[in-house]
Structure 1
Amino acid sequence: MTTYIMLMNWTEHGAKNVRDSPKRLDAARKQLGEMGGSFKSFYLTMGEFDMVAVVEAPDDAVLARFALMLAAGGNIRSQTMKAFPELAYREIISSLG
């Protein structure tokens, strides 16, 4: 599985319906699970982003589809970063020579 960090902000529509946000999160967890992925953690945050999630997916294409499906709902906009775990980080750095 590949790990991704999703940085999310509510759209105007999503903010107006913020009370429904927990239900939307539950639906997103289920949707990603059906696609072979999972939420590892989720945070409500203060600052530039409203929410941050650490998720796993089988590959980039699966997560791209998931992010597009979230965007199509019209409640959030997201930025996604692929994350390398510490072991991969160490391997990448050691390969520099």
Structure 2
Amino acid sequence: MTTYILLINWTDQGIRSAKDSPKRLDAARNLLGSMGGSFDKFYLTMGEYDMVAVCEAPDDRVMARFTLSLAAAGNVRTKTLKAFPEVHYRDIIASLT
């Protein structure tokens, strides 16, 4: 599984119905699960982003399909970061010439 960090902001539509946000999070969890992925952590944040999620998915195509599905619903906009665990980080750095 590949780890992804999602930086999430509510749209105008999403913030107007913020009280429904927990239900939407549950639906997003179920959607990603149906695609073979999972939410590892989820945070409501203060600052530039409204929420941050750490997720896993089988590959980039699954994560792209998932985030496009979220965007199509109109409640959030996301920025997705592909995350490399420390062991891969060390391998990548060690391979530098």
Give the TM-score range, shorter chain.
over 0.9
What SS does the aligned partner of 1:42 have?
strand
Give the deviation of 1:3 after TM superposition.
Answer: 0.3
Write the distance in 1 (CA, Å) between the matches of 2:21 and 2:93: 40
Write the distance in 2 (CA, Å) between the matches of 1:77 and 1:28: 13
How large is the Cα RMSD of the aligned pairs?
0.5
Give the deviation of 1:21 after TM superposition.
Answer: 0.1
What SS does the aligned partner of 1:96 have?
coil
Give the deviation of 1:45 after TM superposition.
Answer: 0.2
Write the distance in 1 (CA, Å) between the matches of 2:73 and 2:40: 22
Match of 1:4 in 2: 4
Runs (4+) of structure 1 exceeding 3 A deviation are none
Q: Which runs of 5+ in 2 are unaligned?
A: none
1:69 aligns with 2:69: yes
Write the distance in 2 (CA, Å) between the matches of 1:77 and 1:62: 17
Match of 1:84 in 2: 84
Q: Which runs of 5+ in 1 are unaligned?
A: none
Fraction of identical pairs, as percent? 69
Match of 1:24 in 2: 24
| Residue identity matched to 2:62 | V
Superposition TM-score, scaled by structure 2 size: 0.99
